[in-house]
Amino acid sequence: MFRVAAYRVTAIVGASLALASCTSTPDWLSEFKPGPVLDTVRFESDPPGAEAKTSNGQSCRTPCALALPAEQPMSVTFTLTGYLPDTESLEPVAATGSPPSLQPNPVMAELEQAPPPPKPAKPVKKKPVVKKKKPAPKPTAAAKPMAPAPAPTTAAPAQQQASPWPAQPPPPAQR
């Protein structure tokens, strides 16, 4: 009797689990769900040492390889100081009987040297026009005080000649 009861209990528990699994998946079973299909893509650049950054945020220094999801298209941008950036596209390709893969693989970028930056034009500085004042004459150490200018004299009549001798006094007046 115990055997029959054990079989029934086992059958009921098994049916319950089967029914429960149809409605939802327990968290502990989520580890067994398949994740996205990944494809390992190799990145190379000339010159090497460029940063390869994919559109989903992963990056590495060339030469390198990254495991990328292969379900959708993406792009990769190569950057290196002194060179122009280069962007390449990756497309998923599905072959019969095999998981999808990203093409091209390997991805090769030939980076071109960046032109030198243009030299900034030097601004023309206009010098302000400053009127220079003439400096005042420097006083000398032995400067004499200026004497007042002599009073203007009237010119003597043309008939009289200047004589080096003093002029004769006028005759006394008669009374």
Strands 51-54 and 38-46: unpaired
pLDDT digits (tens, 9 = 90+) for 19-49: 555 555 555 555 666 777 888 999 999 999 9
pLDDT value, residue 86: 94
Q: Report whether pLDDT(149) > 80.
A: no
The whole-angstrom separation of Cα 124 and Cα 104 is 54
Q: Report whether pLDDT(7) > 80.
A: no
CATH of range 37-111; options 2.40.50, 2.10.260, 2.60.120, 2.60.40: 2.60.40
DSSP state of 113: B
The better pLDDT of the pair 7, 37 is held by 37
The better pLDDT of the pair 74, 171 is held by 74
The whole-angstrom separation of Cα 82 and Cα 49 is 12
Segment 138-156 shows an average pLDDT of 61
DSSP bridge partners of 113? 83
Phi/psi at 86 (5° precision): -135, 135
- For the full predicted model, state whether its pTM sits above 0.75: no
* CB half-sphere exposure, 133, CA atoms < 13 A: 3
What residue ranges do the domains of the chain occupy?
A: 37-111
Which residues, 6 or more positions from 63, have their beta carbon under 8 angstroms from its beta carbon? Answer: 42, 43, 44, 45, 48
